[in-house]
Copies of this chain bind each other. A is one copy, B any other.
Amino acid sequence: MTDVRVIEVKQSVFADNDKKAAALRADLKQRGTFLLNLMSSPGAGKTTTLLRTLEALRDELNIAIMEADIDSDVDARTLIDAGAQSIQLHTGGMCHLDALMTNQGLQELFGTQSNELDLVILENVGNLVCPAEFDTGASANAMILSVPEGHDKPLKYPLMFSVCDVVLINKMDALPIFDFDLEQARKNILMRNPHAEIIPICAKTGEGIDVWATWLKKRVALWKAQV
């Protein structure tokens, strides 16, 4: 009797992606380009946070942004109108980006650059599940939890919080009208990831952006120093 061949598709997909992600990370290190993978639920404020981040760091770093969405180009347009270097990636219905898709976007960016890019930020698809499963090759993972979403999200979406180096708690100006317990949010995040940096911000008013920009600038400098 012939043995049935069992192919673990999910594992092979992830293992293959992990290899591509590691190769991409090594290439980015050689170039001295730091890639930040920014994730969140839909509407948590990724694009507004990026606009503030650009304001804070554009004089010191050469920055470009890749906007990933299933459809539309509203976010890339917003960023370009604000003077940013930005491209839109359409995922063809996919709920996440993998290392191959990320690399495609990066090659497009590098092709149009005369100078070295210090920092590329990938705004991932708004989703707390699938993007956490795929290593994009990023130098660091960041996520935004917004106050209106509630402090229980780390309980429901464990992987997202465990893969992130930094969690920005956005829309702090909305704290008075929502049942959001900041201390409980901190505890829930640290339960999933004891090493997570937690930074409360308000992208609309600019609150906390200096702390976030300082964190990011240090990480970029460290990345470049290790080349």
Partner of A70, one of B95, B127, B156: B156
Q: Contact between B155 and A74 (Cβ–Cβ < 8 Å)? A: yes
Instruction: Give which listed residue, B44, B127, B155, contacts A71 with CB less than 8 A.
Output: B155
Instruction: Given the known inter-chain contacts A42-B157, A126-B41, please indicate yes or no for A152 contacting B74, CB distance below 8 A.
Output: yes
Are A126 and B126 neighbours in the complex by a CB distance under 8 Å?
A: no
In the complex, which range does the number of interface residues on chain A fall in? 20 to 34
Contact B150 A43 (CB under 8 A): yes
Question: A128–B126 contact, CB under 8 A?
Answer: yes
A125 to B128, CA, bound (A): 10
A16 CA to B158 CA in the complex, in Å? 30
- A159 contacts B93, CB within 8 Å? yes
Residues in B neighbouring A149, C-beta threshold 8 A: 41-44
* Complex contacts, A93 vs chain B, CB 8 Å: 159
Q: A173 an interface residue at 8 Å Cβ cutoff? A: yes
Mark each residue of chain A from 49 to 77: 1 if its CB lies under 8 Å from any CB of chain B, else 0.
00000000000000000000111101000
14 A–B contact pairs at CB < 8 A?
Answer: A41-B126, A42-B149, A43-B149, A43-B150, A44-B149, A70-B156, A70-B159, A95-B95, A95-B129, A127-B129, A127-B130, A129-B130, A146-B148, A177-B177
